[in-house]
Each structure stands twice: as C-alpha cells, then as structure tokens.
Amino acid sequence: MTAERHRTENQESRADQEGGCAMSRGLLSLGEQLRYLVQDRALSATTMRVPKHSHIYNCGERDGNIYLVESGQVRTVSLSRDGKRCLLSVYTDGDVFGELCILRENRIETATAMTPVALRRIPKTRLLEAVAEAGLQGAFIRHLTGRLSEQQQIITTLVTMDSEQRLATILLRLARKLGKRQGEYLCIVERISQEELAWMVGTTRSRVGYFLKRFHDAGFVRRTRESYLLVHEELLTGYVQKLM
C-alpha cells in the first residue's frame, strides 16, 4: 500500500509539474512557443543562415513559409509603383514574420537580413497543424491581433503627425524593441541609416538628418563613438506623449 501510494504521489507530482509548465508556456509569445515545439521535435523546421544584406524573400516571389528569428535582425520593405520604399518593420530574436503567406503566397514585401541571421523556416501548412495540435490557437490570435494593433498605430502616426513627430515615435519604438539599457538611455546597437529612417517616416534623408540634430540639441538622442544611436527614453517619451 505504501509503495503504491508513493507511486501515485509521484505521478500526481509529475502531472502538476507538467501542468505548471504548460501554463507557464501559455504566457509565452508565439515565437517562444514555436521555438519550444521545434526543440521538442513537435514541429519540423528548416534552419537557415542568411548573410548580412542578403534577401530572405523578394517582393513578387511565391513563398509559403513563415519564419522564426533565432538570432540577428531582419527588415521588411515594400516598394511603391514609382520606386519609393517604405520600411515596414524590424524583427529580432524570437520574432515571427512572413505570416501574410497564409492569405497569399505572392510576397508583397522584401525581407532582408540587417545582420547575419539564423532563422527557422516553417511551411505554413505545418505551422497551422502544429498550432491546432499543441493548442496554440490563443497564442496565434494574440500574435496576429498584436501585429494588427501595431500597424494601426503606425497608420495613425502617419495620418496625424508631421515628419518630425513621426521620427520621434519611430525612434522610441525602435529603441524599446532593439535597444540595450545604458543608464537613462537605450542603445540601438545596430546601425540604422538615415535613409532607412526616412523610409519609415516617409520623408527625405536630409530632413531626417535635420530632425536628428534638433533631437540631439534637445537631449533626446546622442551618438556613441561607434556611431550607435542612444535614445533617452524618458525625455523622448515625454515629447511623444505631449503630441497625443
């Protein structure tokens, strides 16, 4: 009786631990949960290593895969008919991108490695199967609604703010996503050019340079010796909040 009760208690303990692990995983982002599935071999994915400045996929290509960033940074850019560029987003460790292939396989944007990048390439059919089998529908919906909310904020910024205000909002968003804390500042350790910022803001490179000088004079930003951009989160947040 004692041995049987001991085995029962051990089984219940393991079940509690597994249940707790499942609950904790339920709080993770979609990218983190997909990473667990890949590591547990519950989701098949191809490993890709992409050199800096190389394309992962191009606008107009047929591509039915979704991508998980293991390391490095990726940018997505769209082109207008007259050749103007718009930087849509920047992705880093644990981020998922390329989800639009679920609706259409012809890419409407180009994804490029900003640094040497390690990716997991997951066929969309296999991803959808894994989401259903692992009960990740909630995480998947949260991920998509979060992406939708982010795009709505970007559209609102484009419509309601001038170029200088849009640059401030974009710098704050990039700093919070890519930056590493250095005292009062967030250091964006990847060099994002003024041209790339101009793509995001919807203005010219020279105007971005002018606005950055004004931000520097106001103490919102400064450059390190390595030319990395330091963003003073508190000051820039106060400036942006006054605009809302």
Q: Is residue 24 situated within a structural domain? A: no
Q: What is the mean pLDDT, run by run of 10 residues, along the chain of 244 residues?
A: 50 45 60 91 92 95 96 90 83 93 92 95 94 90 90 84 92 90 90 87 92 95 90 93 77
> Residue 46: inside a domain, yes or no?
yes
What's the confidence (pLDDT) of residue 219? 95
CATH number of the domain where residue 100 is located: 2.60.120.10
Asked whether residue 18 is domain-assigned, the answer is no
> 127 with 140, same domain?
yes
Q: Please check whether residues 45 and 104 belong to one and the same domain.
A: yes
Considering the domain architecture, whether residues 42 and 146 belong to the same structural domain is answered as yes
pLDDT of residue 20: 44
Range of the domain at 48: 29-156
Distance in angstroms (rounded) separating the CA atoms of residues 5 and 3? 5
- Are residue 92 and residue 126 in the same domain, yes or no? yes
Asked if residue 88 and residue 35 are part of one domain, the reply reads yes
Q: Which amino acid is at 59?
A: C
- If one counts the domains in the chain, the total is 2
Residue 201 neighbours by CB under 8 Å, 6+ apart:
163, 166, 167, 170, 207, 208
Q: What is the pLDDT of residue 150?
A: 86
The answer as to whether 227 is a domain residue is: yes
Contacts 24+ apart (CB under 8 A), 144-152: 144/99, 147/99, 150/89
Give the pLDDT of residue 172: 92
134 shares a domain with 37: yes
Final residue of a structural domain among 156, 172, 196:
156
CATH no. for residue 186?
Answer: 1.10.10.10
What's the pTM? Answer: 0.78
Q: Quick one: 113 and 182 in the same domain?
A: no
Of 123, 156, 189, which residue is a domain's last?
156
Residue that is last in its domain, among 156, 179, 213: 156
Same-domain check for residues 123 and 180: no
Task: Supply the pLDDT for residue 76.
Answer: 93
Residue 138 is inside which H or E element, if any? helix 137-160
Is there a single domain that holds both residue 208 and residue 146? no
Does residue 89 sit in the same domain as residue 68? yes
